Chain A
Amino acid sequence: MKAWIIVALALLLAAAGCAPLPAATSPAAGITIEGAFARPSPTEGGTGGMFMTIANGAGVADRLTGGSSPAAQTVEIHETIDDNGVMKMRPVPGGFEIPAGGKLELKPGGKHVMLIGLTAPLAEGQEIEITLNFEKAGPITIKAPVKMMAMQ
């Protein structure tokens, strides 16, 4: 009986050893943007969606509030919601929060950056420039490829 308890305790300890380390306590401060891309959109004056992952390494929450780009007249923050199979896209004028030490994922079928009034068609293989505005980090300019899928 006693032996059984000892084995159980040993296993628990071993399992604790395997547990992932807690997140690094002092990550590089500020906002990092990864995997940004825009979907092809062949019509001038049309709309385009942009997707990316935004990480907030700062100790305080930040907020993506909007942006601007030479590729479009207007840049907005939107969200598509799956309401029982009906896809509803809505502007989110207040933008999205990026929690301290957390991430904001913008992906097809969900939150996205919306380009409205494209100044030229977005063709696969092209690259566009966009400036994203953050409440605390300020404006950040990135370049993003135009492609079909995130994983290409």
Chain B
Amino acid sequence: MKIKMLFLLVLITLALGACAGYQFHGIPYEPPQAAPPITGLDQNGAPFSLDALQGNVALVFFGYSSCPDICPTTLAEMRQLRSQIKDKADRVKVVYVTVDPERDTPERLKEYLAAFDPTFTGVFNNSIDLEPIKQAYGVVAEKVYYDAKDTAAGYSVDHTARTYLIGPRGRLVTSYPYQSPIENIQKDVEYLLSEVK
């Protein structure tokens, strides 16, 4: 009787182990889908395409350089993540797509990103080309004009602050809300890197 029970337990454990795939953090895409295209100009004024990053892991964030807290926080976290991944950091590409083409320019993106990590790629699009990219990723970015008596800031951009994880085969795997633990993102990145050597 006891032996039968043990045998059953072993079987159950094995079965569970076989089903349990890797669970990505954030809000995973079920199933992962082909990452919608992102094109534009990089911070050096050269054409950029997300396709060119295949074989690497890409972390994509949408922001603007006049953003004083959310965007620098995420960029600082991305920098920390790359430094923790050490020898594989070359294969972790951080892509920063500006949603404020009115104030940002490739030159400004260059200046801005250099303060965080010069390996980050900035992507600039005019507002017309930006729209389908935003829509494909479910990014909301709306300009809000302030009352001039309240502030000297002019306007700010209300924006979603998710970071999108794209695997080496160009699949959109998951997205993380603002300030997700870096350790979780790192685990996911390392898992994807180990999948494709």
User: Which residues of A does B touch, CB under 8 Å?
Assistant: 39-43, 46-49, 51, 73-74, 76, 78, 80, 82-83, 85-91, 93, 108-109, 112, 114-117, 121, 123-124, 148-149
- In the bound complex, do residue B66 and residue A47 qualify as a contact, i.e. CB atoms below 8 Å apart? yes
B79 CB to closest chain A CB, in angstroms?
7
**B160 CB contacts on chain A under 8 angstroms:** 85-87
Going nearest first, the 4 A-B pairs with the smallest beta carbon separation are A49-B68, A91-B151, A148-B76, A42-B115
Inter-chain contact total with CB atoms closer than 8 Å: 104
B136 CB to closest chain A CB, in angstroms?
17
A39-B69, A43-B108 known; A86 vs B177 contact (CB < 8 Å): no
**B66 CB contacts on chain A under 8 angstroms:** 46-47
User: Which residues of B does A touch, CB under 8 Å?
Assistant: 65-70, 72-73, 76, 79-80, 108, 111-112, 114-116, 140, 144, 146, 149-153, 156, 158-162, 177-179
- In the bound complex, do residue B69 and residue A112 qualify as a contact, i.e. CB atoms below 8 Å apart? yes
A90 to B150, CA, bound (A): 9
Among B69, B116, B177, the residue within 8 A (CB) of A108 is B69
- In the bound complex, do residue A41 and residue B72 qualify as a contact, i.e. CB atoms below 8 Å apart? yes
Which residue on B lies nearest to A89, using beta carbons? B156
A39-B68, A80-B69, A109-B178 known; A87 vs B153 contact (CB < 8 Å): no
A40-B116, A148-B76, A149-B76 known; A109 vs B68 contact (CB < 8 Å): no
A113 CB to closest chain B CB, in angstroms?
9
**B65 CB contacts on chain A under 8 angstroms:** 43, 46
A73 to B178, CA, bound (A): 30
